């Protein structure tokens, strides 16, 4: 297999944390910041940076509110994010040898 056969991977998704976040959000209507932090095993600052990148690209929508007196940040995948994730999966498939 030559490198020309590989489809390019979206650099915004091509990061372990961002891919993990999108994988959670693809089946979720929304997920809160602490849940994403726990499931991706990252820190507050690191996750915030990755979420900002995804939000800038229009892949996720971040909402900030309050639950009682505590701040609550929730994330949801946008239509653009869903399409980008689907494209990313298709591109990943190109790295596997075609089944005969």
Give me the residues that bind other proteins (CB under 8 A), please: 6, 9, 14, 16, 19-20, 23-24, 26-32, 34-35, 39, 67, 89, 92, 95-97
Write down the least CB distance from residue 81 to other proteins, Å. Answer: 14
Closest listed residue to residue 71, CA positions, set 36, 40, 33: 33
Write down the least CB distance from residue 46 to other proteins, Å. Answer: 16
Write down the least CB distance from residue 69 to other proteins, Å. Answer: 14
Closer CB to other proteins, residue 28 or residue 57? 28
Task: Assign residue 60 a region (left: φ > 0; alpha: ψ between -120 and 50; beta: otherwise).
Answer: beta
Report CA-CA distances (Å) from 69 to 36, 45, 61, 66, 98.
21, 21, 22, 6, 54
Closer CB to other proteins, residue 83 or residue 95? 95
Closer CB to other proteins, residue 45 or residue 96? 96
**Residue 76: beta bridge partners?**
61
């Amino acid at each position: 297999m030559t490198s020309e056969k590989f489809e390019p991977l979206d650099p915004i998704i091509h990061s372990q944390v961002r891919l993990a976040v999108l994988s959670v959000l693809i089946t979720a209507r929304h997920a809160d910041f602490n849940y994403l932090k726990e499931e991706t095993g990252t820190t507050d600052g690191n996750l915030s940076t990755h979420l900002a990148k995804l939000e800038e690209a229009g892949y996720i929508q971040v909402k900030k509110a309050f639950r009682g007196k505590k701040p609550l940040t929730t994330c949801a995948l946008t239509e653009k994010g869903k399409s980008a994730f689907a494209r990313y999966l298709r591109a990943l498939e190109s790295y596997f040898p075609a089944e005969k």
